[in-house]
Amino acid sequence: MTEQSVTHVYAGSVVDLFCGAGGLSHGFLLEGFEIAAGIDTDEDCRYAFEHNNEAPFIQKDVASLDGETLNELFKPDLPSVLVGCAPCQPFSIYNQKNADPQWELLGEFARIIIETKPLVVSMENVPRLMRFREGKVFESFVETLERAGYHVDSQTAFAPDYGVPQQRSRLVLLASSLGEIELEQPTHDPSRHETVSQAIKNLPKLDAGGVDPEDALHRSSRLSPLNLKRIQAATAGGSWRDWEDELVADCHKVATGRGYASVYGRMEWEAPSPTITTQFFGFGNGRFGHPEQDRAISLREGAILQSFPSDYAFVKPEDPVQFKKLGRMIGNAVPVLLARAIARTIKQHLKEFA
């Protein structure tokens, strides 16, 4: 179990589609919901999901699911809650092709909702989904739910407003067959946003390529001699534009690369971190340099900035820790504290209609 307490008076039964390592489910677990199951195609996520969320992981393509099978997973005497985060890469600003067939999984999510008819639905995704293909994909999803009798609300939530120490904006959709539903008001105004310092400053110091003997996930990636010189020249909140010319990458010396000022950057202690991506463990992949130590942030630091509990287990103790695999699991997750806000909203909504 994790360091945060769990209330064992279940508010509802949750099935989590596209569950990944379990960030969304964990937020619901910590708010008193039973997690009936998590479903995903990525077998690498099985241990993290099951170990931390007291629920089975089902490796299955959502496109092959049907409502009857899914309904068998819900605990029959509890309100049914279907949640999920359809893969957001097709809708991301980092995907310029808009040709990724994964966007069709949103349609599969809608189909499953109609077949399953849960009392409440929640979907989390990137805000750009609302504008994808001139907004038609998202509009079709909402209209499908409304025709099925759901009251639908969607809004962009800024993660620091809910205690997440990370500048991450996410689309949160809530749908209920019971009545109107809307995400709870922010719990943290800008003066109370959690900072990088509050989140990770007390973790043990590391060198580049080092690992904490007490926590295998508190490890940082190695740096080449050139990148070590670069991070030594970097200042918190600064950019490569502040460096001497011989340290600047060739791609940043041409017009097409001059706009990418945030790569090879350090985080700032007294502000939320930048958005944690799947490549956050690499100094050259964004503003992922530690504020004062000469290294990129560790896997554990990235997980904490995603508001996972500091003891959340992502791999079996005897298994190797692989940066690419763990970076994908952590970076793709729903921040746990944002998940808790969604869960609290649904719990209060269910009480109102009990």
In a domain, 179, yes or no: yes
The answer to whether 183 and 174 have CB atoms below 8 angstroms apart is: yes
The dihedral of CA 299, 300, 302, 303: what is its sign?
A: positive
**Number of domains into which the chain is organized:** 2
On whether both 173 and 41 belong to a single domain, the answer is yes
What mean pLDDT, rounded, does the chain reach? Answer: 89
Helix (H) or strand (E) holding 169, with range, is strand 169-176
pLDDT exceeds cutoff 50 at 103: no
User: Which one-letter amino acid corresponds to residue 213?
Assistant: P
The answer to whether 65 and 39 have CB atoms below 8 angstroms apart is: yes
Q: Compute the average pLDDT of residues 330-347.
A: 97
Whether residue 88 lies in the annotated active site: yes
Q: Compute the average pLDDT of residues 282-304.
A: 95
pLDDT value at residue 238: 83
On whether both 281 and 168 belong to a single domain, the answer is no
pLDDT exceeds cutoff 90 at 253: no
Q: Which residues pair with 204 in a beta bridge?
A: none
Lowest mean pLDDT across 126-140, 145-159, 270-284, 305-319? 126-140
CATH of the domain at 217: 3.90.120.10
pLDDT value at residue 131: 66
On whether both 48 and 117 belong to a single domain, the answer is yes
On whether both 156 and 211 belong to a single domain, the answer is no
On whether both 146 and 257 belong to a single domain, the answer is no
pLDDT exceeds cutoff 90 at 301: yes
On whether both 312 and 338 belong to a single domain, the answer is no
pLDDT exceeds cutoff 70 at 90: no
* 3-state secondary structure (DSSP) of residue 221: coil
* 3-state secondary structure (DSSP) of residue 214: coil
Give me the domain span that covers residue 119. Answer: 13-189+333-352
CATH of the domain at 155: 3.40.50.150
Among residues 45, 85, 88, 251, the one annotated as catalytic is: 88
In a domain, 7, yes or no: no
Q: Compute the average pLDDT of residues 304-325.
A: 97
* For the chain, counts of helices (H) and of strands (E): 10, 9
In a domain, 326, yes or no: no
From the list 300, 333, 304, the residue with the least C-alpha distance to 213 is 300
Top pLDDT among 240 and 348 is at: 348
pLDDT exceeds cutoff 90 at 8: no
From the list 69, 31, 74, 24, the residue with the least C-alpha distance to 49 is 24
Distance from C-alpha of 200 to C-alpha of 273, rounded to nearest angstrom? 11
On whether both 278 and 167 belong to a single domain, the answer is no
Q: Which residues pair with 82 in a beta bridge?
A: 15, 121
* 3-state secondary structure (DSSP) of residue 66: coil
On whether both 221 and 307 belong to a single domain, the answer is yes
Distance from C-alpha of 27 to C-alpha of 58, rounded to nearest angstrom? 19
In a domain, 231, yes or no: yes
In a domain, 6, yes or no: no
Categorize the per-residue pLDDT at 132 as very low, low, confident or very high, splitting at 50, 70 and 90: low
pLDDT exceeds cutoff 60 at 203: yes
The answer to whether 183 and 153 have CB atoms below 8 angstroms apart is: yes
In a domain, 5, yes or no: no
Most confident of 13-17, 89-93, 140-144, 227-231: 13-17
On whether both 134 and 223 belong to a single domain, the answer is no
Distance from C-alpha of 330 to C-alpha of 123, rounded to nearest angstrom? 18
The answer to whether 354 and 79 have CB atoms below 8 angstroms apart is: no
Top pLDDT among 9 and 76 is at: 76
Top pLDDT among 102 and 314 is at: 314
pLDDT exceeds cutoff 70 at 65: yes
Distance from C-alpha of 205 to C-alpha of 173, rounded to nearest angstrom? 39
